[in-house]
Amino acid sequence: MSKSGPSAQRDARYAHPAATVQGEASFAAYPHPHSHPQQPTIPIPSGAPPPVPQQSYSQQYAPPPAFPNGGMYAPPQNAAQSVQGYAQAPHSQYPGYSAPQPQQQPPPAMAALPFGLGETLNSQLGRTLFDTAATRFAQSQREFLGETGGAGADHFLRIPKVYFAVSTSYVARKLLLLLFPLKNKTWTRRRLDEGGPYLPPREDLNAPDLYIPAMAFITYVLLVGFISGTAGTFTPDVMASTASLGLLVLSLEVLAIRLGLYLVRARPVPWLDLVAFRGYKFVGLTVVLLASALNRVLFWPVLLYLAAMMGIFLMRTYRKLVLVPSASAGAASVSAEDTAKKNYFLLGVAAIQFPIYWVLARRA
């Protein structure tokens, strides 16, 4: 039989805990203190996609998975094989594909040439032209040096070697001759025999040499740098500019003397003889710089004296070359007017020594 009253309500509450009774709160409204709260259930409308399942804390903040090969892309193992197979396959299987033809690359030295010269020289025509030119050059060198004994090489080396055939006694006597030319009595060069070649400088005091001019020029440049350093005005460009100025003055002077000898119809003089004679002025310039370094009062007296001595030395050296007529002119064609021109030429050679000494000595 059914119960009624308070006992029936109590039995219904325990049978259905989620149910509520009018005037009394539900038993579920008082959850257990250690129980987790229940999320409210949201009804899902029809036709909507299923909800995304929620992830736990460990799943949300888990470290990313490790990538193979250090995070770098690794192509499949069969990728190279497939590409190689594609390149080696017949062209009929891949329409529109043509295998590249191997090109012959020029050597590295030729490949660096501009304007495509490397490919031109590497071609058959270029190699033929190069071989022909090299063969002709080698043949010309053999003809110059001589097929037997190298006579051409000896003749070529004998030309400048004569100008350095000096001795210690020759250098000492030549320096005294440049500083005191008035003591010398003869200015004629000596020959090996009648009509033969001239004797070398170590056997003839009047022979020109290149040893003294070269050493004097180097000493002059170094002395200018030393004097500039003691004065506190030395710069790296002092010695370079001094050497350039000395070579420029020497070149212009040689060209002017060569032109003057041609105009006065003097005997031909080798170029190296002119360079040697004009290079002797650096001996006097070195003495001028040394004297001015000791006492500046000595600069002008020593400069004027050595410039005059160099003028006298050149006048007496060129006198035999200028006053004696050349073989083409003939002795009968020499007139008083020609002799006057030659004398003026000799005076001009001596006179230009003063400005040249001043220009080169003022560098210090």
Q: What one-character DSSP code corresponds to residue 54?
A: P
Between residues 77 and 318, which one has the greater pLDDT?
Answer: 318
The candidate with the shortest Cα–Cα distance to 121, out of 102, 136, 134, is 134
The residue count of the chain comes to 364
Q: Mean pLDDT over residues 74-86, rounded?
A: 52
Kindly indicate the confidence band of residue 267, based on its pLDDT and cuts at 50, 70 and 90: confident
198 φ/ψ angles, rounded to the nearest 5 degrees:
-75, 155
pLDDT of 85 > 60? The answer is: no
Is there a contact between 177 and 160 (Cβ–Cβ < 8 Å)?
no
Rounded to an integer, the average pLDDT of 136-143 is 58
- Residue 19 pLDDT: 45
Q: Which of 59-63, 76-80, 282-286 has the lowest mean pLDDT?
A: 76-80
pLDDT of residue 24: 46
| pLDDT band, residue 117 (cuts 50/70/90) | low
Q: Is the pLDDT of residue 141 over 50?
A: yes
Tell me which of 23-32, 60-69, 131-140, 324-333 is least confident: 23-32
pLDDT at 75: 57
Under 8 Å between Cβ of 228 and 236: no
The pLDDT of 106-131, averaged and rounded, is 55
Tens-digit pLDDT profile for residues 95-110:
555 555 555 554 554 4
pLDDT for the residue numbered 150: 45
Question: Which is more confidently placed, 57 or 251?
Answer: 251
pLDDT of 304 reads: 96
Query: Tokens representing 51?
Result: 């909800």
Q: Which of 96-100, 139-143, 328-332 has the lowest mean pLDDT?
A: 328-332
Query: 164 or 193: which carries more pLDDT confidence?
Result: 164
Q: What is the pLDDT of residue 214?
A: 95
The pLDDT of residue 71 = 54
Q: How far apart are CA 233 and CA 57, in angstroms?
A: 83
Per the CB < 8 A criterion, the answer to whether 242 and 363 are in contact is yes
Show the 3-state SS of 188-246: CCCECCCCCCECCHHHCCCCCCCHHHHHHHHHHHHHHHHHHHHCCCCCHHHHHHHHHHH
Over 80: is that where the pLDDT of 165 sits?
Answer: yes
Q: What percent of the chain has pLDDT over 70?
A: 54
The pLDDT of residue 248: 95
Distance set, CA 179 to CA 84, 249, 273, 302, 309 (Å): 88, 21, 19, 11, 7
8 A C-beta contact, residue 280 and residue 213: yes
User: Is the model's pLDDT at 177 over the cut of 70?
Assistant: yes
Query: Helix/strand/coil (H, E, C) string of 166-182?
Result: CCHHHHHHHHHHHHCHH
Res. 23: pLDDT tops 50: no
pLDDT digits (tens, 9 = 90+) for 198-248: 899 999 999 999 999 999 999 999 999 999 888 888 888 889 999 999 999
Q: Can you tell me the mean pLDDT for 119-142?
A: 61
